[in-house]
Amino acid sequence: MITLRIILISLFCLFFQYVQAQEKQKKSSESGVNQSILMGYHFGFVNVFCSVKNGDLRWHDRYDLYSIGFPMGLTLRTPGSLLVDLEAVPFIQPYLASDEPYQVHLLWHPGVLLPLPKGWTVGLRAAFETGVGQFGFTPLLNKAFKISAQSAFFLELVLPARFGPAKDNGYIQLAGLHVGVGF
């Protein structure tokens, strides 16, 4: 319940920031320079390190829980300060110590990002996991470190919240780390 309140407050703050940016954009005059709508792209890897379901904390350090994802995405400009990020994440769960086949699924992960000073970004993504039938949302906190004028290394704390696949499966809260490079 507390997580839902935090998410709703975050959504309200992002919406309020977007409205303010739209007003500033309308008041300011255009410089005449057309910028590309494509701001950049990124790729990396993500590991979920723990989950909480029904009050039970599970660390994902055992071979039967381990999975790795490979996020890749495009970031698009908007007239305001918010960015739209379209991300797809193929996930592999290898079941290393058993004869079970690999489980592979795809996470569609569109979202909005709000850049902050000093390389920080907060965001919220929708989540649709094909192959496992889950859906939800993912709040994130990102810190970028410039490599060059056109690229950056980043660390991103992700807090995926998922529902499903069955209606009675309930809610699961996860925590993970996304490491990547953006251009």
Q: Are 124 and 11 in contact (CB under 8 A)?
A: yes
E strands, the chain, in order: 38-53, 56-59, 68-69, 72-77, 83-93, 103-108, 111-115, 120-130, 134-148, 151-158, 161-163, 171-182
d(CA 83, CA 7): 18
Is the peptide bond between 165 and the residue preceding it cis, with omega within 30 degrees of 0? yes
Backbone angles phi, psi at 37, to 5 degrees: -70, -25
pLDDT of residue 6: 67
| Chain-centroid distance, C-alpha 171 | 18
d(CA 101, CA 105): 13
pLDDT of residue 42: 98
Domains with residue ranges and CATH for the chain: 2-22+37-182 (2.40.160.20)
Q: Which residues of the chain have pLDDT under 50?
A: 29, 32
d(CA 153, CA 108): 22
In this structure, what DSSP letter does residue 94 have?
-
Conformation bin of residue 97: beta by default, left when phi > 0, alpha when psi is -120 to 50: alpha
Backbone angles phi, psi at 131, to 5 degrees: 100, -30
d(CA 34, CA 42): 23
User: How far are the Cα atoms of 39, 75, 76, 169 from residue 124, in angstroms, in the given order?
Assistant: 18, 13, 15, 23
Q: Tell me the whole-structure pTM to 2 decimals.
A: 0.79
pLDDT of residue 29: 44
pLDDT of residue 147: 96
